[in-house]
Amino acid sequence: MENASKALIMAGGVLIGVLLLSLAVYLFVDFGSTSAKINEQNAQKQLVEFNSKFTAYEGFKDINGNWNITIYDIISLASYTKEYNHFNELSNDKKLRVLIGNGTGRVISDMLESEYESLINMYVNQNNGTITKFQCSNIGYNDDGRVSLIRFNPI
């Protein structure tokens, strides 16, 4: 009889051990899927944050609904794009591009900073101080959902 009670105590101990092990495995799997969801949400947030630097120009209008993008805004965006491309060492087919004009257009993000002044002179009338306004005509995305191209047309 004494051996039977010890056998029952041992069986109960094994059963409790199996239950604790099952609980640990369940919690590990549950926490793993939760962290995967959090990582996915963070990646999506970073993508939206990155794209918002460019998509903000889609509706860059003044209070009257007129386009309010100037050559200075485009040059600032092109400088940011050039810095981003250089910092991330992107290949030519993966580089972000800022263009002005229809068709192939001028790739502003590949220009040297010394060339920006001639671009400013082209779109700013030095005689009367008027500045050409631009509209954002196209934003292109690559396969992973990141902005790869933003095109502006003078109006």
Q: What is the token pair recorded at 24?
A: 């640990």
Q: What is the pTM of this model?
A: 0.73
CB atoms within 10 A of CB 47: 14
Cα separation, 9 vs 62, whole angstroms? 80
How many residues are listed for the chain in this entry? 155
pLDDT at position 22 over 90? yes
Phi and psi torsions of 148, nearest 5°: -120, -15
Are 57 and 73 a contacting pair, CB within 8 Å?
yes
Q: How high does pLDDT run on average in the chain?
A: 87
The reported pLDDT for the residue numbered 1 is 64
Yes or no: say if 150 and 138 are a contact pair by the CB < 8 Å rule: yes
